[in-house]
A = this chain, B = another copy of it.
Amino acid sequence: MKRIQTETEGYFVLSRGDEKIEHVIEESLEECKRTLIKGAEKDLENACYIKSWNVKENVLSFALNSGNLVRSHVGLLRLKKVLAKELGEKLKIGIRRVSAKNFKVILFDRVDEVAVNKIKSMPKIRDVYIEDNKTVILLEDLDENDLRGNLIDRLINLIEEVSKEKHVSYEQIQPIVRISQPKQMKFTGDPLITSVELGWVVPFPGRGQFIYTSKYAALFETIKTILIEEVAKKGGFKPFLLPKLIPFEVMKKMPGYFDSIPEGMFYVCPPPREPEAFDNFKLEYRLKKEVPIEELKKVLKDPAYVLAPAQCEPFWYYYSVIKHKSETLPLKYYDASGYTYRWEGGGVEGLVRVTEFQRIELTYVGLPEQVVNIRDEIVEKGIYVADKILDLEWRITAAAPFYVKEGSSNFDPYNSVEVPAYDIEIYLPYRGPRESSEWLEVAGCFVHKKKFVDSFKIKCEENLEIWTGCTGLGVSRWTAAFLAEKGFKEEDWPAIVREKYREILGE
């Protein structure tokens, strides 16, 4: 089936005009057609075809259209080869230059507005519009270098990726309790696209996974360092290093995971203790150089862990095995020791909804008013980083997490003790106007009340009521949001970011 089509007008500038050119072309037409089908013989719909052609003085033009197997730019280069030979042998005419105008990529699908914006922000894109339920992407004029490199194929891959993203139609339901002054946007594109273009990020074969190269990594480290300094350390939080591989017995105590979103986690099987169990596996693998999946499934032990989806799981385990007294409260610890994981199914999007990502996870345990105050302080400090240091446009919304959604969604969003979570959100220009587009949650600042205390049996010696809370500062998302507003030019970044960035990069 044809899902994608390309069209273009190709131009060959010849070494001179000649009235016999038309005749030579006519004689070569059959060979031209054959060469445009090569490789798509079994799927002719996706080959390349000549719609019309024309000679005017020393310029020869072809209108081509194609499916996805021999794309029009490839067709044009194949035509050049055939015609150069024919014109050279028969008329001693050479081809001086090849170029293409009105190169269109047509998706047989209507992409949504967010995708249109994202595609518009890709390089070499002149326009994107919807026509007859199809999406038409018009490229800028292309020279032979553009046609020969893998620019167009890379573009089409990106376009296909974006068209598969699900941009859920957005309705603002969380009440906005505070909002920043509008800030000047230095960039309007999807940072993933520019990151890939610049080599800051390289897609990894696993869905929603990326290799982040040195410039991205240095910016990430910069923002992580700032957040740890300004939010964690200044807030009196101390570092922990937490496991990221969570045994079922711990995960079972996390409210809402196994019962509500088991489909959002990766499951991990340990190997058996006896290495001999793998003897057949090794034999088969060495023979076929393919992982023998059925044999592997026979050998492996049952799934026994998940990859941490929440990051704080081991904190609650820790708080449940130590003794609490009122004079040692509140406890404030953070972890920023590695990746956590969510399986987003079809829902991965750009750099902001990925499978594997990093957070600074802060947890706090204390008397109820201590916990509420700590949460509110974190929100203030987070706003400070967004507003004063990173210079991002932010807002605070009041939210309820999935496990309290039922029943308690009627709360006064300004009365902190009633609010399960304050989200810090950052505006993403590529998603559209401020008022109607979805902003990016970069921090969820929670008060759990007794939810986790009950579930993990966290006890205070004097039988005082204690509460817990946690805040995830999504460093991967802060970084993506920063790039979405500030772009990729160091001179557009706040000086403090630029300096730390250069120091980390070692430049």
Using a CB–CB cutoff of 8 Å, the interface residues on chain A facing chain B are 199, 202, 204-206, 209-214, 216-218, 220-221, 233, 236, 238-250, 252, 258-260, 262-275, 277-278, 281-282, 285-286, 289-291, 293, 296-297, 300, 302-303, 305, 307, 314, 317-318, 321-322, 333, 337-339, 341, 343, 345-346, 355-356, 358, 504-506
CB–CB A266/B268 < 8 A = yes
Tell me if B240 and A213 are in contact (CB < 8 A): yes
Check B269 against A233 for contact (C-beta < 8 Å).
Answer: no
In the A-B complex, the 6 residue pairs with the closest CB atoms: A338-B338, A214-B238, A212-B241, A217-B239, A263-B275, A209-B243
Bound CA span A186–B249, Å: 39
Please name the residue on chain B nearest to A202 by beta carbon.
Answer: B318
A262 contact set on B, CB distance < 8 A: 271, 278, 281-282, 285, 296
Question: A214, B236: Cβ atoms under 8 Å?
Answer: no
What is the bound-complex CA distance between A322 and B236, given in angstroms?
44
* Nearest CB of chain B from residue A418's CB, rounded to whole Å: 28
Q: Could you write out 18 A-B pairs with CB less than 8 Å apart?
A: A202-B321, A204-B243, A204-B250, A209-B245, A213-B318, A214-B333, A217-B241, A252-B291, A258-B282, A259-B282, A265-B271, A266-B271, A267-B269, A268-B307, A296-B303, A338-B338, A338-B339, A339-B339
A305 to B293, CA, bound (A): 11
Contact A296 B271 (CB under 8 A): no
By the criterion CB–CB under 8 Å, are A211 and B275 in contact?
Answer: no
Given known pairs A233-B506, A238-B506, A318-B211, the reply for A291 and B248 (CB within 8 Å) is yes
Cα A265 to Cα B281 in complex, Å, equals: 13
Oligomer copy total? 2
For A318, what are the chain B residues with a Cβ–Cβ distance below 8 Å? 202, 211, 213
Alpha-carbon distance A243/B249, docked complex (angstroms): 26
In chain B, what residue has the closest Cβ to A203? B321
User: Which residues of chain B are within 8 angstroms of A260 by Cβ–Cβ distance?
Assistant: 282
Query: Taking the nearest CB of chain B, how far is it from the CB of A245, in angstroms?
Result: 6
Partner of A244, one of B264, B282, B338: B338
CB proximity of A162 to chain B, nearest CB, Å: 19
Rounded to whole Å, the gap between the CB of A270 and the closest CB of chain B is 6
